[in-house]
Structure 1
Amino acid sequence: MSSSAPLVLVIGASRGLGLALAREWLSRGWEVIGTVRGAGPTGLHEAAGASGGRLRVETLEVTDPASLQALKERLAGTRLDLLFVNAGVANGPGDRVDRISTEEFTRIMVTNALSPMRVIEALGPLVRPGGTIAAMSSSLGSVALNDRGGWEVYRASKAALNTLMRSYAARHLADARSLALVDPGWVRTDMGGDAASLSIAESIPGVVDALARRTGQSGLRYFNYRGETLPW
């Protein structure tokens, strides 16, 4: 990897939206570090092989603090322009709090809310002043927009992520870096399902464009793939 191109770290890039993000930044001349859970092969490994050395694959189990610490040590001294945390699990629109086990509730909350914030706490210091720290959220995490129900535990986990990110921002008021919570829209992926309204090609370039427009603007914003501000 060279030192002249901007560098992004995408957490959770083996498939779906994370892989699409890695490919999008590569197409724009960025260098990319992407994480996968296991040894592969994955779509990210395939993209790395065709990247001419501009994409590096790292391993991270996002819910495992020891795995996160090991990644932090491997990345020591790295200067990132952007950290993007893409981690999420869901059980579908029929997910209801009165039908879920404690273990499954905990799994979703740990994966979607606690783990992304642990990543940001651990790896955020690698992001240069004026850079960006972002996490994949959802419009379903908006309390104000929840007038139809559905996706109950997933909604709760993304609302928790949003609240935790606001607390992080409150603790870093003097930080010059841009903080972002991004809703990619309802996208046709393994998690979004075939009925989703957007293709990856309709969502991800917009996500990257919206983040680019926020570069250099300090403070936390919550917006969608069109760059539109969402209500908390």
Structure 2
Amino acid sequence: MEPLRRADRLRAGSAGRVTRRVLIVGASRGLGLGLVAQFLSRGWDVTATVRRPSLALDELAAGHSLRIEIGVDIDDDSAVADLRARLAEAPDFDIVFVVAGVATQAGTPAALLPRDVVGSVFQTNAVSPIRFAETFHRRVAPGGLIVLMTSKLGSVSLNRGGGWSSYRASKAALNTLARSFAGQHKGADWGVILMHPGWVRTDLGGRRATLDVETSARGMVNVLEGRLGQRGCAYLDYAGETVPW
């Protein structure tokens, strides 16, 4: 048997079993909450961030290794820096997963939206996840992953309908920024995953969506557990299929 990596030794319990650690950013409801439940069910040590207290997240904490960090808004650089400081003494994470995103007035064509609305969507969906990744990339364990929640709607080659134009463009921008981020850190011992969760019945996806949260979250965690140790940047869906750029 190979000796444990240093990062793994730090996380190993008294019996020598390695405990994997994940940081989920934006976990109060929907897919973020579903991901917390999935990782906990597999024995992961979970740190979850929210902007405001979440009763549903509190209920998941009972009997599990779940640390909840309140007051974290990815659009607030000082809040992200404060989070990094609070987690300074914690072991590194095998996965840092930025889930948070918005779809403000997504049905209105981008050219008809107020400029401040479009700017806000791009800040939250594209710029802030990359800024968070820059702030936390040194807290990713060797062989770990930085995961950014994107969407198939961010695929330029698949855009034939043109709807949700501001949301599409913000996710396409995230994909491009993530490729640049991965290239700027190409010597790092971790990988970057852009994750499409499928069309999920959440506040964003709506009731007509084809997937429930549990199915999507379970698929995403399956994919990510299988990708640990791989480098580079990949654009995948919840079933592990590559999404065209």
TM-score normalized by the length of structure 2: 0.90
- 2:157 maps to 1:149: no
2:6 alignment partner in structure 1: none
1:3 alignment partner in structure 2: 11
**Of 89, 98, 116, the match for 1:103:** 116
Counterparts of 2:187 and 2:119 in 1: how far apart (Å)? 33
CA-atom RMSD, angstroms? 1.3
**Of 16, 36, 58, the match for 2:69:** 58
Contact 1:176 1:219 in 2 (8 A): no
Counterparts of 2:142 and 2:183 in 1: how far apart (Å)? 17
Contact 2:106 2:166 in 1 (8 A): no
Contact 1:14 1:44 in 2 (8 A): yes
Between the two proteins, the alignment pairs up a number of residues equal to: 228
1:34 alignment partner in structure 2: 48
Counterparts of 2:119 and 2:166 in 1: how far apart (Å)? 10
Contact 1:188 1:200 in 2 (8 A): yes
- 2:195 maps to 1:187: no
Give the match's secondary structure for 1:24.
helix
Letter in 2 for 1:24: Q
- Once the two structures are superposed, residues 89-138 of structure 1 have per-residue CA deviations (whole angstroms, 9 ceiling, x without a partner) of 10365231122101110111111011111110001110111111111010
Counterparts of 2:105 and 2:198 in 1: how far apart (Å)? 15
How far is the alpha carbon of 1:77 from its aligned partner?
3.3
Give the match's secondary structure for 2:199.
coil
Q: Which moved more, 1:89-98 or 1:193-202?
A: 89-98
Contact 1:91 1:151 in 2 (8 A): no
Give the match's secondary structure for 2:174.
helix
Counterparts of 2:54 and 2:189 in 1: how far apart (Å)? 38
- Larger CA Rg, structure 1 vs 2: 2
Aligned residues with identical type, % of pairs = 46
Letter in 1 for 2:89: G
Q: Which moved more, 1:21-30 or 1:199-208?
A: 199-208
Specify every segment of 5 or more residues in structure 1 that has no aligned partner in the other structure, as ranges. Answer: none
Counterparts of 2:148 and 2:77 in 1: how far apart (Å)? 18
- 2:139 maps to 1:126: yes
How far is the alpha carbon of 1:42 from its aligned partner?
3.1
**Of 204, 207, 215, the match for 1:202:** 215
1:169 alignment partner in structure 2: 182
How far is the alpha carbon of 1:51 from its aligned partner?
3.2
TM-score normalized by the length of structure 1: 0.95
Specify every segment of 5 or more residues in structure 2 that has no aligned partner in the other structure, as ranges. Answer: 1-9, 13-18
Counterparts of 1:69 and 1:176 in 2: how far apart (Å)? 23
Counterparts of 2:11 and 2:48 in 1: how far apart (Å)? 17
1:88 alignment partner in structure 2: 101
Counterparts of 1:197 and 1:178 in 2: how far apart (Å)? 29
